[in-house]
């Protein structure tokens, strides 16, 4: 399987710190300490989200989300993984692969059963929430319209 998030274009609903850009979440460095410079955070807001555009539709088998291990893992409780081809509502209206339930593990694997899509979102519905992520890996078994299938994150 190929991590198609590497090289994707990332965006998020807001920036807690302008030095910590959304692209850090797809840099291939799964460091889960915020101050290591590989994690991002939104402001405290309603319905925060993070998204990666992988350039074209792929069949997504698994999404791996790495949250902070230095604190705050409970902030990801209720986070939804959404996959699809629409940018409507910042892609948060795309079909849902999974919903995270409260866990003490900062590495979460979501099996998406070959959902097709170009946009992969981590969406945290609710009022006064903050989304913090350290890495998102998106594994595809194949892609639909050609492109570079040689991307590999080394794992």
Please give the pLDDT value at position 150: 38
pLDDT tens-digit profile of 16-51? 988 888 999 999 988 887 878 889 999 999 999 999
Q: 15 falls in which pLDDT band (50, 70, 90)?
A: very high
How large is the average pLDDT for residues 85-106? 90
**How is 91-152 classified by DSSP, letter by letter?**
GTTSPEEEE----S-SEEEEEEEEEEEEEEEEE--SSSB--EESEEEEEEEEESS-------
Distance of CA 122 to the CA centre of its chain: 5
Q: What's the pLDDT score for residue 143?
A: 55
Angle at 155 between CA 73 and CA 37, to 5 degrees: 45
CB 48 within 8 A of CB 30: no
User: What pLDDT was estimated at residue 65?
Assistant: 94
Q: How far is Cα of residue 143 from the mean position of the Cα atoms in its chain?
A: 18
| Helix (H) / strand (E) containing 52 | strand 49-66
Residue-wise pLDDT tens digits, 51-91: 999 999 999 999 999 988 888 777 888 999 999 999 999 99
* Extents of the domains making up the chain: 2-143
Q: Are 51 and 90 in contact (CB under 8 A)?
A: yes
Instruction: For residues 101-109, give the mean pLDDT.
Output: 81
Structure confidence by residue, pLDDT tens digits, 121-148: 999 999 999 999 999 999 998 655 444 4
- Domain spanning 2-143, CATH class: mainly beta
What's residue 154's pLDDT? 43
Q: What is the pLDDT of residue 40?
A: 93
């Amino acid at each position: 399987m190929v991590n198609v998030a590497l090289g994707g274009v990332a965006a998020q609903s807001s920036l807690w710190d302008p030095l910590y850009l959304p692209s850090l979440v797809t840099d291939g460095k799964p460091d889960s300490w915020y101050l290591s410079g590989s994690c991002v955070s939104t402001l405290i807001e309603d319905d925060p989200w993070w998204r990666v555009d992988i350039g074209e539709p792929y069949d997504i088998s698994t999404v791996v989300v790495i949250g902070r291990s230095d604190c705050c893992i409970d902030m990801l409780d209720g986070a939804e993984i959404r996959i699809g081809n629409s940018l409507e509502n910042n892609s948060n209206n795309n079909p849902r692969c999974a919903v995270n339930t409260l866990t003490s593990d900062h590495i979460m694997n979501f099996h998406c059963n070959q959902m097709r899509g170009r946009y992969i979102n981590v969406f945290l519905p609710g009022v006064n929430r903050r989304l913090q992520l350290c890495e998102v890996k998106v594994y595809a078994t194949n892609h639909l319209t050609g492109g570079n299938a040689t991307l590999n994150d080394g794992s």
